[in-house]
Structure 1
Amino acid sequence: MNTPSRTGLVVGKFWPPHRGHQLLLETAAAQVTELVVLVYANPDSASQPAAVRADWLRMLYRGDDGSAGPRIGQTPLRIFVLSAAADGVPPDAADDTTQREFVRQWLVRQGIPVDVVFSSEAYGPGFAAHLSVAHVAVDNARRQVPVSGTRVRANPAEHAAFLHPLVAAQLGVVPPASVPRVVFLGAESSGKSTLCAALAEACGTAWVPEYGRTLHEQKNGNLDYDDLLYIARRHAELEDEAAAQAHGVLFCDTNAATTALYSYYYFHRCDPALQAMAAVCGQRYAHTFVCAPTVPFEQDGWRGPEALRSFQHGMILMQLDYFGIPFTLVEGTVAERVAQVRAALGA
């Protein structure tokens, strides 16, 4: 039996998108078959305009198949950017009736009927009534996610815990970690994965495999430019998930900075959002280790030629120097490398 279609509506500044916005969107998406999201403010931000904020939302809800567009679960998101110049967005200070009527007329002009409004604000019921649709309130009291866009704008660092890593990086901050994160960098076939697994076993904790490798295999080696930012985003999310299972320390295979290098290597460019994620790697990880490319090279069908290892190693070292990130070089057998890492971390 087919479920009747139901279109939801969420309106907001998303300046910037925070965990409260994500709770709102994800709650709404679970109850509708399509979710319309309007992003606007008047006056708007000069440094983070609505178009940029909408792109952050699209990045946050892009799945493995980026061509399908943003979605939450099986619910597609239709994200629209509105402006004062193009759409006649009223000033933020305008009265409620003006704001409600503006949205009503915009929906009519676009031919978009909606069935339910979702909001986390006191204006929600009156707004929905003006549109003659149902209303669902989501965490109005801010008990689940005690934050607001106003607070984040005032002090991003203080409220970084309520930001997704991708969004936080655009603001130059890093969400606090529940356990210290230790990252391992290195050229292809330099022993990062083997070392992470050995350390996790020796220390009784968790480790995070390189997500770029996972997606690379899933797509049979045919990565697109947009995949590189997605890889960095998903890897950060997987780190956050693994941190909940870690004991004392979390070992991470690769970081966003290396993903940015691959973006330049394969596509000769790098998304600004990925550049921002790379730039905060020095804050995100408590210690950085670089695996020397001295172990026997293993060609598994997914790697470049062995001659490339030396170049990759040099680029990683150059990038660490550029970002001013201190690191420890590890060499030798797996056992010797484990001992070197544990000694550097104080075991």
Structure 2
Amino acid sequence: MKIAFTGPESSGKTSLSKAVAEHFDAQWFPEYAREYLLNSGGEYAYHDIDKIGVEQQKIRESTELSGIKIYDTDNIVLYIWSTFKYNKVSENIKALVQNQHFTHYFLCSPEGIPWEEDPLRESPNQRAELLDLYVAKLRNKNVDFTILKGGFKQRKQEAIAIIEEISLSKGGFCV
């Protein structure tokens, strides 16, 4: 079972995905973009988004086949980031988005989550606008997703309940 947490900056993806992974004693995969940007001193250009996407995909493909896998982000983040920042998306990112498959997506709403200052974050006042782009992209991709709102505890409980429900419908925790 592969679960992706996606959404605008500072919407709780990392904290929530870690907590849900810990709850299920699942494999957790951090957002590669953060590592990349830390190594580049926060500097990047349009072509760097492709590099991030390729590495993120390599990590996803190198995982074990069984069990629950929780991902702190997906390639839709790169698609939205590229669209929002550069008004264009490379064919590589489009292909990565088209070819990624998750059992379920959790879209983290910024509603109720205060902006946390971070030198790698850029859009404190556009989080609602970005959320709309995520909703549109997930609907366009025609995938199962849940928008998580409210406080951390509420979001965590909802995510856990949905993962348990999915697992039961598939006969237990599996791929």
TM-score by length of 1: 0.45
1:313 maps to 2:131 = yes
* Aligned match for 2:33, one of 208, 212, 225: 212
CA distance in structure 1 between the aligned counterparts of 2:80 and 2:141, rounded to whole angstroms? 13
AA aligned opposite 1:298: E
1:296 maps to 2:114 = yes
Matched residue SS, 1:346:
helix
Could you say which residue in structure 2 is the equivalent of 1:344? 162
Could you say which residue in structure 2 is the equivalent of 1:185? 6
AA aligned opposite 1:279: Q
1:270 maps to 2:93 = no
Kindly, what percent of the aligned residue pairs are identical?
24
Could you say which residue in structure 1 is the equivalent of 2:15? 194
Could you say which residue in structure 1 is the equivalent of 2:24? 203
Matched residue SS, 2:92:
helix
Matched residue SS, 2:3:
strand
8 Å contact from structure 1 (residues 289, 328) kept in 2: yes
AA aligned opposite 2:84: Y
8 Å contact from structure 1 (residues 206, 247) kept in 2: no
CA distance in structure 1 between the aligned counterparts of 2:42 and 2:119, rounded to whole angstroms? 10
Could you say which residue in structure 1 is the equivalent of 2:146? 328
AA aligned opposite 1:341: A
CA distance in structure 1 between the aligned counterparts of 2:23 and 2:16, rounded to whole angstroms? 10
Could you say which residue in structure 1 is the equivalent of 2:78? 259
Q: Can you list the C-alpha shifts for 1:180-228, whole angstroms capped at 9, x where unaligned?
A: 2100111100000000110111111111111112212211222122211
Deviation at 1:345, TM superposition (A): 1.6
8 Å contact from structure 1 (residues 205, 247) kept in 2: no
8 Å contact from structure 1 (residues 208, 252) kept in 2: yes
Matched residue SS, 1:269:
coil
Deviation at 1:319, TM superposition (A): 0.9
Could you say which residue in structure 1 is the equivalent of 2:169? none
Higher relative contact order (CA 8 A, sep 6+): 2
8 Å contact from structure 1 (residues 196, 251) kept in 2: yes
AA aligned opposite 1:216: L
TM-score by length of 2: 0.86
1:93-242 equivalences under 5 Å are: 180-241=1-62
Q: Can you list the C-alpha shifts for 1:267-295, whole angstroms capped at 9, x where unaligned?
A: 222221211111233xx101011111121
Higher helix share: 2
Could you say which residue in structure 2 is the equivalent of 1:124? none
CA distance in structure 2 between the aligned counterparts of 1:270 and 1:233, rounded to whole angstroms? 14
CA distance in structure 2 between the aligned counterparts of 1:186 and 1:290, rounded to whole angstroms? 5
Number of residues paired by the alignment? 164
AA aligned opposite 1:291: C
